[in-house]
Amino acid sequence: MTDRDITVRSLAEGKNPSEMKIGDLCSHELTAIAPSASVEDAVRIMREKAVRRLPVLADNRAVGIVSIGDLAREQDPRSALADISGAAPNN
């Protein structure tokens, strides 16, 4: 479940997310990628499926997640998205 799931499936519809079940908020069609896939494969899948995050699965287990920001840093480290995605969080 992502922040976008909460926004699109609850707040935009005037519902209180704290009163909903996770199954009502999360995406049901999971698109994932293998750790051995190429960056180009990840970009293609994210474009085709219009997703911003892609779970990485090995032996049907989640081993990571690749985000659109990760790909931006990999393909064009000087882009605005790469710069934003690489910024250290405020602690």
Structure confidence by residue, pLDDT tens digits, 47-79: 899 888 899 999 999 999 998 888 877 766 665
When pLDDT is averaged across residues 4-11 and rounded to a whole number, the result is 84
The CATH number corresponding to 31-91 among 3.10.129.10, 3.90.1300.10, 3.10.580.10, 3.40.640.10 equals 3.10.580.10
**Are 56 and 32 spatial neighbours (Cβ–Cβ below 8 Å)?**
yes
Name residues whose C-beta falls within 8 Å of residue 3's C-beta, 6 or more positions apart in sequence: none
For the chain, list the strands marked E by DSSP.
53-58, 61-67
What is the pTM for the complete model shown?
A: 0.67
Residue from 65, 63, 62, 59 nearest 85 by CA? 65
Report the pLDDT value the prediction gives residue 34, as an integer from 0 to 100.
97
Report the pLDDT value the prediction gives residue 57, as an integer from 0 to 100.
96
When pLDDT is averaged across residues 9-23 and rounded to a whole number, the result is 87
Percent of the chain exceeding pLDDT 70 equals 81
Beta carbons within 10 angstroms of residue 7's beta carbon: 13
User: Is residue 37's pLDDT more than 90?
Assistant: yes
* Alpha-carbon dihedral 20, 25, 29, 34, rounded to 10 degrees: -110
Q: Where do the structural domains in the chain lie, given as residue ranges?
A: 1-27, 31-91
